Structure 1
Amino acid sequence: MLGAIVFFVLCVATVAGMRARFRLPDHHLNLESKDVIRLATAVVGTLSALALGLLIASAKSTFDTADTEMRSSVARVLLLDRVMAHYGPETEEARQSLRTLVERRLERGWSVATTDQASGKFPGDYRDIEAVQDRLRELKPQTDAQRLLQGRALEISGEVAEAHWLLVETDSEGLPWAFLTILVFWLSLLFGTFGLQAPPNLTVFSILLICALSVAGAVFLIVDMANPYIGLIHISGDPLRAALLRLGQP
C-alpha cells in the first residue's frame, strides 16, 4: 500500500514539474538556473540515496534476525520435546501443550496478536508456554537423571518464552515513519525538478515513470522486509511445519 502511495506521489510531482515548465518565465530556466537546480538536486539525490540504502539495510537486518530467531526457536522446541520424552510418560500433557503452541503459531500466520485492551494482556503463545512450564514444575522426579532433565526442560522452556517476548517487542517497534515521510518529500522534490527540466515527450515521461516505479518498489521492499512475519516477502513456516511432524514422537 505504501509503495503505491509513493508511486502516485512521485508521478504527481513529475507532472507538476512538467506543467510548471510552461508557466515559468524563460529566464527561470536558462542555463545558469538549470546549473543551480542540478547542483541542488544532486545534494537531495545523495541524501535520498543514503536514506534508502540505510532503510533497506535496516529492513534486511530485521528480516535476517527474525529468520534466525525463528529457526533457533524451532530447534529449542524440538529439543524441549525430546528432553521431556526422555523424562518419561509423566510429561505427556506438557508435550501436548507444546504441540498446541506450535499449531497456534502456524494458524496465526506469524503475526503478533494485538493487545487485549480490557485485560492489558497478550493472548496466545505466552499462555501456552507457561502451561508447559507449570506442568514441568509439577513433576516429582524420582531419580537424579529425572531431576537433571526437569531442570534442563525448564531452562529450555524459559528460552522459548523469551523468544516469544522478543518477537512481541520487535513487532511493536514498527517503521521509522518520520524518516520515511522526509524521504518521500525528498524524492518528490527530485522528481519535480526532473519534470521541470525534462522536455515533454513520451520517451522522457516513460523513463521517469519507470524510475518512479523502481523507487516505489524499493519502499515496498523496505516495508515488507521490516515486517518479516507477514506480507509478500515473509519468513517461511516450513521449519515449524517440519517440527510439528516430529513433536510427540517416542
Structure 2
Amino acid sequence: MGEVLVGTAIFACLAGASLVSLMVHERFPAHHLGDDTSAVVRLAANLFVVMSSLVLGLMINSAKNTFESINGNVHTFATDLILLDRTLRHYGPEADSARQSLTAYVQRVVETSTADSDTTVVPNRLSELLLNQVGDLMAGLTPTDARQNAAQQAATQQLQKLVEQRWILAEQSEGAIPTPLIVLLVAWLTLIFASFGFRAPRNGTVVFTCLISAALVAAAIYLIIDMDSPFSGPIQISPAPLQRALAELTTQ
C-alpha cells in the first residue's frame, strides 16, 4: 500500500507541474517568454534529465540486486528447512515431535506467503514460538548412540543457521533505496515536467501527452520501489521454494 501511495503522489507531482506550467506561462511578462529564456529552460531541463537518468539507473540496479539477493536467500532458507528435517528423520522416531513443530512452522510461513501478505519470512510471534519449540524439543533429546549424538549436533547447527537466515531475510525485507534519493529524483522530474508546459500550446494533445508521460514515469518508479520490497506488491518473491519444502516435510 505504501508503494501505491508513493506512485500516486509522484504522478500528482509530475502531472500537476506540467499542467500548471501549461496554464500559467501565458501570464508571464513578455520578457520571460523570449527565445533566450526558453533556451536556458531547456538547458536546465536537459541537465536534470541526465542526472535523473543516472539516478534511475542506480535505483534499478539496487532494486535488482536486492530482489536477486533475497530470492537466493529464500531458496537457501527452504533448502535449510529440508536438510534439518532430513537430519531429524535420521535421528529416529524420538525426533518426531520436533519434526512436527518444524512442519507447523513451515506451514505457517507458507500460509503467510500470499499475495495480500506484507511479508513472507519476516518474524512474527507465532512463527518465532514454533521455531523456538523445535529447538527446545531438540535440546530435550537424549542420544543413545554415536549416530544419534552426531545427528543431534548436526541438527543443532542447522537450526542455528536457519534462525540466522530467517533474521537476514527480515532485515532485507525493508529495502535498500534511501527515501531522500527518491525525493530528490521526484524533485528533478517535477522540474523537467514543468519545463514541458513552458511555452507549449494549450490543447488536448499536449495535455494528454503530459498526463500519459506522468503516469508512465510514476508507474516505472513505483515498480522500482516495489521490486526493492520483494515481499509485497505485484513484484514478489515466489513462495514456490517454501511450498516445495513443506511438501518434502510432509512426505513420509
Question: What is the TM-score normalised by the length of structure 2?
Answer: 0.89
> Counterpart amino acid of 1:106?
V
| Aligned residues of 2:45 and 2:192 also touching (Cα < 8 A) | yes
Counterpart in 2 of 1:50?
54
- Aligned pair 1:62/2:63, yes or no? no
Counterpart in 1 of 2:162?
160
1:42-191 alignment, distance < 5 Å? 42-109=46-113, 111-112=118-119, 123-172=125-174, 175-191=177-193
Summarize deviations over 1:15-63 as a string: whole Å, max 9, x none: 1110122111222121111111111111111111111221121112111
Where 1:124 maps in the other structure, the secondary structure is: helix
Q: What displacement does 1:172 show?
A: 4.3
The worse-fitting range, judged by mean Cα deviation, of 60-69 and 87-96 is 60-69
| Aligned residues of 2:177 and 2:228 also touching (Cα < 8 A) | yes
Q: What displacement does 1:246 show?
A: 1.4
Q: Could you say if the C-alpha distance between residues 100 and 237 of structure 1 is closer, same or farther in structure 2, counting changes exceeding 3 Å?
A: same
- Aligned pair 1:10/2:14, yes or no? yes
> What CA distance in whole angstroms lies between the structure 1 residues aligned with 2:242 and 2:47?
47
> What CA distance in whole angstroms lies between the structure 2 residues aligned with 1:21 and 1:6?
22
Q: Deviation above 6 Å: which 4+ runs of structure 1?
A: none
| Aligned residues of 1:112 and 1:167 also touching (Cα < 8 A) | no
Summarize deviations over 1:92-129 as a string: whole Å, max 9, x none: 0110111111111122236459x9xxxxx951333322
> What CA distance in whole angstroms lies between the structure 1 residues aligned with 2:212 and 2:71?
32
Pick from 195, 199, 210 the counterpart of residue 208 of structure 1. 210
> What CA distance in whole angstroms lies between the structure 1 residues aligned with 2:93 and 2:71?
33
Q: Could you say if the C-alpha distance between residues 175 and 23 of structure 1 is closer, same or farther in structure 2, counting changes exceeding 3 Å?
A: same
- Aligned pair 1:247/2:249, yes or no? yes
Identity %: 35
> What CA distance in whole angstroms lies between the structure 1 residues aligned with 2:193 and 2:250?
59
- Structure 2, unaligned runs of 5 or more: none
| Aligned residues of 2:25 and 2:198 also touching (Cα < 8 A) | yes
> What CA distance in whole angstroms lies between the structure 2 residues aligned with 1:218 and 1:112?
22
Where 2:230 maps in the other structure, the secondary structure is: coil
Question: What is the TM-score normalised by the length of structure 1?
Answer: 0.90
> What CA distance in whole angstroms lies between the structure 1 residues aligned with 2:59 and 2:176?
13
- Structure 1, unaligned runs of 5 or more: 116-120
> Counterpart amino acid of 1:99?
T
Where 1:41 maps in the other structure, the secondary structure is: helix
